[in-house]
Each structure stands twice: as structure tokens, then as C-alpha cells.
Chain A
């Protein structure tokens, strides 16, 4: 058995309908478009997508459509005009959980390439103040490009290591969409049986994630909200990181109010027990939402 199946096998008892989950990974990842209401309105954008030959279905999120068919060889004018952002539906969920409002100050600590940052700005109606940060110079370029293409004016882009970033502001809300092992993106090639989108490396991701969540929490105003998310199923990178914060800081989890089906956070795994509040976090499985698997936790300061 190959290593990815070994990895996934350990979730057999955690993931509901595990066989369905494995079967689902044999299907290609569906494409979703988020409509950018800063440049157009939803009805007009959807009509223009149809004019451009894109067949799509509605989703539980008004501004997100699931693409059923379009000619990938041809660049869409909707894209070049900044009307759409190709984005997995599950990738929108941390932003909905964060619930950024106009006039708030918000930080997206690991922002590149900008899918969530630009969605935050959209939900703030391009008002208030958003800082979009990323660590790597090479990832800043697509972030800048997307902020520009979507016509955003309320965003300050910074480059720095998230776990050490010093900013002269404190924030109402912070999003930490942490670098992760990406197990939620795993797909099985139906021809070769090999896994696609598998991240390899020896980086101690859990240590980075713990440093990020702690530093992000410290940049919040009292009563502020932090959303921690990853696109992995790995308990060490999800529940264990949230547990770490609960032990280190005066933090508590808040319930999620999201328009898609999810499972609660895990409180027992491989003989370890986690804080009972972690049940309030959400695990979004690919076969349940027909998208990338995600983990989302909403945390309140004080």
C-alpha cells in the first residue's frame, strides 16, 4: 500500500463514510468561481459567464458558482475584468467564519495568492483596513496581482514571516490560513492509482503553525476574533495547534455558522485527548462538500 493510503488509513475511524471518501478522491477536483461583487453584481456576472459559454450550478454561497463546463483553452474576459476569482468553495469558509465587517481592521497573516484576502475585502465592501501579509517574495507577486485585478483599495500588502511580523496596528479580526501538508487536496489518479497534489518535505509544520497562531492571537484587540484554517485532515496540524493556543492564551472557541455540512473537531485521537471546546471547530471533508478538505476554528480573545 502506498504511503498516502497509509496516511489516510489512520483516519478510517474519524471520517464518516470512509469508503465514499476514498472513492471521491478518484474524481477530479471541481472548479468553482467566486464572483467579485466589488466590480460587478452577481446577476450581471452570472449572465456574462453564460454569455462566455460557462455552464455552472449555484452553491449554498450566493457569490460562488460550481463550474460544470467551460473551454479552458480560452481565457475568460470575466477573469481579466476581475469579475471572478477561481476558488474552491471550502476555501471561502474561513472568511465566512471570520465575518469581516466594513470599518474593521483585519489581518490575513498568510495571504498569498490572495483568494481569502480578496474575499475578506469583498465582504468588507472594500471599506475598513485589511493587511494582507505573506512570507515569500515569490508569493507576493500573485497576491499583488489579484488585489489589483479585483480592484481593491482597502488593502496594505506586507511581506514578512508571520510568526515574527511586527505591525503598528492591532486588529478586530485575524485570519491564519496556515501553511500545511495539504491532505485535503489529495486526489487519486484513476489511471495510475498514484496520489496527486501530495506535498513532500521535512518542515516541522506543526511548530510553524503553533508559532503563527500564537503571534496572530497577540495582534488581536481584546474581544477580537481569530480564525485558524488549513486544507489538511492532519490532527497534529489542526486540533493540536488550537489546543496549544488554548493552553498558552486566554482564548475560547466560538461556534461556526456556515452554510455547508461539516463534522465537529476531534477531541480524541491516537490516545490523546483534546480540550472539549475543540468540538466547536469544523472538519470539512471532500466527499461531503465536493471540494478541497478543510479545517476551520473560530477563536475569541479574552
Chain B
């Protein structure tokens, strides 16, 4: 993604997550005692690696210029049911050994983890895995 996309945002880290928050023309003072959270979870620290969140990918995935994997519905269903699939063309499509964006048509679904040996591991939230494994379209 181009860095310019984030020019209007500030990034805050709380615990093991970073949040993307719309930049304000005034200095944000955190309300004492009442503050819960601000902005959209953006990346999460997973075992020392930064994993983009599903909600971030769904909103900003269209800005990605590489590591976007467009899959057919039946392959997505297999990925959701099996948790891991082998894609013979994976290494030609994306950088191996990292998180990649999965999309179906114009819908950005979330992330998967690409590993050597053309292995693709599902990293969708559970509810989405269940929905995608049973999805039929008219």
C-alpha cells in the first residue's frame, strides 16, 4: 500500500494491537476514566510478526498493490473447511512466508498465511470461516 493512504491518520498502540485513527486538527486529549478505545484495529502482534487485522483488510485491502490473492468460491470454501490448502500457483502469485490478502471478486475477505511448499493457511475469523464454507450465491 502507498504510504500516502495513511497521511490522514494517526497510529496508536495499545497492548499488542495498533489502531488507525482519523487525524484531528486539534490535539486529542484522552478523557480520564472514561476512555475505552479509539479507531480501527490495524495490525496485531502475533508471535513476533505483525498481522493485519481482518477489519482493516476489509476496509483498506483495495489499496494493496501486491500480495493479493483472488480465489474462486470453491477454493475459499476448501480453505475455510480444511484450514490449510495447497495451491500449486501460490509462489507465482504472492510473496511466500507471510500474510497475504484474500479476495473474492471485488470483496476483500481477510488474510491467509502463505508458507513454503505452496501452503496457504486460513486466518479468517471463525464466524467468517463458517459463513464462507457454506456460501452459495444465486
Q: What is A's interface to B at a CB cutoff of 8 Å?
A: 38-39, 44, 48, 50-53, 74-77, 80-82, 103, 126-129, 133, 140, 144, 147-149, 151-160, 165-169
Contact = CB atoms under 8 A, between A and B. Distances in A.
B14 to A, nearest CB: 12
A53 B138 contact: yes
A168 B137 contact: no
Given A166-B34, A167-B34, A168-B31, A149 B55 contact: yes
Query: Which 7 residue pairs are nearest across A and B when measured between Cβ atoms?
Result: A151-B59, A154-B22, A158-B34, A160-B34, A168-B29, A51-B137, A156-B38
Interface in B58-78: 58-59
B22 A128 contact: yes
Interface size class of B (residues with CB under 8 A): 35 or more
A76 B34 contact: no
A111 to B, nearest CB: 11
Contacts of B106: 44
A39 B59 contact: yes
A75 B127 contact: yes
Interface centre among B22, B33, B40 (most CB of A within 10 A): B22
B132 to A, nearest CB: 7
Contacts of A103: 25
A38 B9 CA distance: 16
Given A75-B130, A158-B36, A166-B32, 11 more contacts: A77-B107, A80-B127, A81-B58, A82-B59, A148-B55, A151-B40, A153-B22, A156-B28, A160-B31, A167-B31, A168-B31
Contact of B35 (A75, A80, A156): A156
B16 interface: no
B61 to A, nearest CB: 10
A241 B78 CA distance: 57
B41 interface: yes
B3 interface: no
Contacts of A140: 36
Contact of A129 (B24, B35, B41): B24
Given A51-B137, A126-B22, A159 B29 contact: no
B55 A52 contact: no
Contacts of B32: 166
A165 B34 CA distance: 8
A151 B34 contact: no
A75 B132 CA distance: 9
Nearest to B38: A156
Contact of B31 (A44, A127, A166): A166
Interface centre among B20, B24, B59, B109 (most CB of A within 10 A): B59
Contact of A74 (B36, B56, B134): B134
Contact of B22 (A52, A75, A127): A127
Nearest to A130: B22
A82 B58 contact: yes
A144 B137 contact: no
Nearest to B41: A148
Nearest to B56: A151
A168 to B, nearest CB: 4
A77 B22 contact: no
A204 B71 CA distance: 56
A124 to B, nearest CB: 9
A144 B22 contact: no
B33 A160 contact: yes
11 contacts: A52-B137, A53-B138, A81-B58, A144-B37, A148-B55, A152-B40, A153-B59, A155-B38, A156-B31, A158-B31, A160-B34
Contact of A133 (B22, B34, B40, B138): B34
Given A76-B131, A168-B29, A153 B34 contact: no
B128 interface: yes
B87 interface: no
B117 interface: no
Interface centre among A77, A80, A159 (most CB of B within 10 A): A80
